[in-house]
A and B are shown apart, each in its own frame.
Chain A
Amino acid sequence: MKNRKRASLLLAAAAVVAASCSTIEKINAPALAPGRADFSVVAAVGSGITAGFQSGGLVDRHQTHGYASLFAQQVGARSLDLPLVGGDGIPPLLELKHLYPPPIQIGPISATPGTPPDPLFPSTYHNLGVPGALLQDLTDTTQYVTNPYFALIQRGRGSIARQIADPTQLNPQPTFLLVEYGMSDLLRPALLGTTVGLLSVANFEIFFRRGLDELATVLPSAKLAVVNVPDVTAMPFFTTVSNKQLDASGQPVLDANGKPKFLLGPLFDTGGKPLPLTANDLVLLSAQPQVAGGFGYPVGTISYLSGSPVAGNGAGLTDAQVLSNSEALTVQDRARRFNSIIDTTSRSAAKPRDFATVDLDGLLRRAKSPGIEIRRVFYTSTFVTGGLFDLAGLYPNDLAHALLCNEVIRAVNAKFGSNIQPVDPLRFATFTASSASGSREAGPLPTLR
């Protein structure tokens, strides 16, 4: 009896040691716990980000890697019906023509527009993101004729808010809706170097509440995630071209006092000569060819931006090529106030709809400084080499869409108590911003065409 007990003890000890010595079992993904939300049918409404617009165009290889599609995959929803554009995109996307040695050269892939989505596609698309769509377009169709993408995506089927909820057009109806507006409201005037036409704070609040009310009416049981509004002036389009005169090594040219010399801007002195820009004026990326051609450089100075010395022509940059400091501050303040309205509405007991707030603005701020670290590599909002933006310096690339998807997941999990697993962002990263993971353009990494 005693021996049997001893043997049992020894066996038990051996079993414990053996179990401890074994290697770990693989971990399987947990089953989705949706919490208070229902993810069976996901849909999205919004502007160019939601549409998957990148590098100057709309094309299937990026549309399918948009944050909304990634989110739908992660929650196991039915895949989103998208207004897919084939070929080289509409319009043809930009591509990287030359990388090293600098300067980087970018141009259209081709002159041939891609294949538009099937106009006879029977139902409403799950993704009604429209490049350039404004907040008021969610409920108001009056501006649709001014934006050709509505014809491709909305197709005259009523307002975005009505269409996405109409069971005769989309059945079953969405149970979870991603809402992203406001960026185009800031971007449209800012791209032209102005704040004229910028959406007012009061109107943002009116349109935002109207949109939520409308969605609450047409989709009473669906849960929402609202993407907030990014400070667009932090995007490479506004931060890439230096407002200073640069020497051949890319360093600022200094005056006799050791202070940098600025490019000539759109304002003139009393003698009609262009005045230099000030320290915080932003030169738009669209002005790069002109600056490379000697515009903004006083006579007797040299622009090296093209990679070859070009004599300054003494002409100042135009107002449409510069977002002045005061204009930039206005845009930044507007983004802050828009987001304040979103936050206030989110916390308000009288809000028409319970929604999660997705901090796209915070993501962009982190990209600007200090950068977003992924596996010990820092990604920033630096144009091209920063690794997060498209080749137009305006929209997130596929990697950044995956990061945005994870922001959505974080916000939704926190709000609704779900356990959606994050995506691995680098699965969607590519060599150049205009290629896509798994697409015919990707090729084996790395390749430059």
Chain B
Amino acid sequence: MRFGRTLLAVALVGLTLPPASALGAGYGIYEQGAAVLGMGGAGSVSVNDASAVFFNPAAMTGLAGTQLYGGGTLLQTMTSFAGVAPYPGFGVTEEMEPQRAFPANVYLTHRYPGPWAIGLGYNSPFGLKVGWKNTDQFTGRYIVTQAELRTYSYSVVAARDLGSKWSLGFGGNLVYTRAILVNRHFIAAPGGGGGQLEVANFALTSNVTPGYGWNAGLTYKPAASWKVGATYRGRVVVHADGDADITQYKTGDAQVDAAVSASLPPDQPASTVVRLPAIGALGVAWNWGSAWTFEGDAVYTAWSAFEDIPFYFQNTTSSNERIVENYDDSFQLRVGAENRRAAFTYRFGYYFDQAAAPTESVSPTLPDADRHGATLGLGMGFGADKRLRLDVYQLAVFVQNRKTEGVNRDGYEGEYKSFASATGLSLAYRW
């Protein structure tokens, strides 16, 4: 019971913290446990802490007693942009405000006598935070000046040892989301010359709204040193209500301002749809003696669910907008190793994360690109029986530069460069 209260407290703290900037393709965040991330995120089979609630619930049958695992990751992203013709033109560079966030996660598992285990979890599996510098001059402000996607996912999972070396896990997820998009609105000057006038700031903010999903996992141990597994987290679609706040900028010309005022929608309730894609993973782990574990995972994310970002205005439906995204499904390859020594456990890993955004959709809101991640991790136990354990990891994400190749949907052409790093820790306690 005491640990249940602890879990709740950590979850509440997590709610008050900013969300993560996306470290994975699209707006995915795979950084959900320090030990697994120390191995490059290759842990869907060998995970041996309570973050199994996220990485593979079937693995909970391998966790003895009651285990608490909680922590977070300090995420930092840097993005810059260089323009080409026709817009914003050669020689133009833009920079995003460095984004820092510390999404928390906490998991609790309990292994009953017999075949069953249960688990609870809280984390932020998706998130995005974008804010460009000098918003009044930012050349892409007609697309975005600020954007956020926050997710707060609560999971309840159960696992059963099926015997014959098989384990099965399954459960449900309650995912709260909140989305914010702010940009500038331009119109063609009503005088006929085609010049654009910056006439308003649009801020679309959704309420914190729940969505529902499910997840399942499977593990199989064909030999003493081998283990394979699969896991799946279902798609969550959230229909979120919110508000549209529109602030008109006066041009100084009374006739123009009157014409613009007549064409702008008033502040009003608005809604959107947030789509969190399904994720599936297949993994294989191999133990080399008692000191080494190696794992390789293939992770598939059904990003094709991210078709668009719609905005529905309740009172002026003619103002409805649909930002087309048409993402592609993408995969990640993750490999990692763990070396257990007397005092410390050493981990290292690498992953490749394929971009999900088609070239047309690469934008200042989501400058998606292929990523290479390299991680180092360290674990240490405390006390005579090492019931308390600390895991830390460091991740460097080398994001490949991404060019729009003259086909960006919003006519914002150029090349994006990003770098991300993550420093995470988790504390585990076992009863």
Contacts and interface: CB of A to CB of B under 8 A. Distances in A.
A435 interface: yes
A443 to B, nearest CB: 10
Given A23-B93, A23-B417, A101-B258, A96 B188 contact: no
Nearest to A27: B82
A338 to B, nearest CB: 28
Contact of B92 (A26, A96, A387, A388): A26
A408 to B, nearest CB: 13
A422 B86 contact: yes
Contacts of B86: 406, 421-425
A435 B191 CA distance: 10
Nearest to A433: B192
B191 A431 contact: yes
A154 interface: no
B388 interface: no
A386 B186 CA distance: 14
Contacts of A374: 196, 411
Nearest to B96: A23
A38 to B, nearest CB: 22
Interface of A: 16-17, 20-21, 23-29, 96, 98-101, 373-379, 383-391, 397-400, 406, 421-426, 429-435, 437, 445-448
Interface stretch (B44-52, B248-256, B340-348): B248-256
A446 B191 contact: yes
Nearest to B98: A21
A24 B193 CA distance: 35
A17 to B, nearest CB: 6
B90 A429 contact: no
Q: Which of B186, B194, B398, B410 has the most CB of A within 10 A?
A: B194
Contacts of B85: 29, 421-424
B195 A426 contact: yes
A98 B187 CA distance: 19
Contacts of A384: 190-192
A100 B398 CA distance: 54
A24 B81 contact: yes
A400 B193 CA distance: 9
15 contacts: A24-B80, A99-B255, A100-B190, A100-B262, A376-B142, A377-B186, A379-B194, A397-B193, A423-B86, A424-B88, A424-B89, A435-B193, A445-B251, A446-B189, A446-B251
A27 B84 contact: yes
Shortest Cβ-Cβ A-B pairs, 9 listed: A430-B193, A399-B194, A432-B191, A433-B192, A387-B194, A387-B188, A24-B417, A23-B80, A429-B194
Contact of A20 (B87, B189, B256, B398): B398
Contacts of A434: 193
B194 A28 contact: no
Interface string B408-426: 0011101111010000000
B83 interface: yes
Q: Which of B188, B189, B192, B259 has the most CB of A within 10 A?
A: B192
A429 B188 CA distance: 9
Contacts of A437: 195
B419 A21 contact: yes
Nearest to A391: B192
A100 B258 contact: yes
B186 A375 contact: yes
A388 to B, nearest CB: 6
A99 B190 contact: yes
Given A23-B78, A375-B410, A431 B87 contact: no
Q: Which of B81, B191, B259 has the most CB of A within 10 A?
A: B191
Given A100-B255, A388-B194, A433-B192, A375 B80 contact: no
A348 B411 CA distance: 35
B71 to A, nearest CB: 23
Contacts of B88: 424
Q: Which of A27, A425, A433 has the most CB of B within 10 A?
A: A27
Nearest to B85: A421
A20 B262 CA distance: 48
Nearest to B413: A422
B255 A448 contact: yes
A423 B189 CA distance: 20
Given A373-B411, A376-B186, A446-B251, 5 more contacts: A24-B82, A383-B192, A384-B192, A421-B85, A448-B191
Given A431-B193, A445-B195, A25 B82 contact: yes
Contacts of B417: 23-24
A377 B107 CA distance: 48
Contacts of A430: 189, 191, 193-195
Given A21-B78, A29-B85, A100-B256, A445 B189 contact: yes
A27 B189 contact: no
Contacts of B414: 27
B165 to A, nearest CB: 41
Contacts of A378: 188
A61 to B, nearest CB: 12
A435 B95 CA distance: 35
B99 to A, nearest CB: 14
A424 B84 CA distance: 10
Contacts of B326: none
A73 to B, nearest CB: 12
Contacts of A432: 189, 191-193
A406 B87 CA distance: 13
A374 B253 CA distance: 24
A96 B192 contact: yes
A397 B194 contact: yes
Q: Which of A386, A398, A426, A447 has the most CB of B within 10 A?
A: A426
A428 B302 CA distance: 43
B322 to A, nearest CB: 12
B188 A379 contact: yes
Nearest to A448: B255
Contacts of B259: 99-100
A122 B190 CA distance: 42
Contacts of A446: 189, 191, 195, 197, 251-253, 256
A377 B401 CA distance: 28
Nearest to B252: A446
A375 B192 contact: no
A426 B425 CA distance: 50
B396 interface: yes
Contacts of A421: 84-86, 90
Contacts of A99: 190-191, 255-256, 259
Contacts of B81: 24
B163 interface: no
B91 interface: yes
A388 B192 CA distance: 7
Nearest to B185: A376
A387 B82 contact: no
B143 interface: yes
Contacts of B95: 23
Nearest to A25: B82
Interface in B372-431: 396, 398-399, 401, 410-412, 414-417, 419
B425 to A, nearest CB: 20
B190 A385 contact: yes
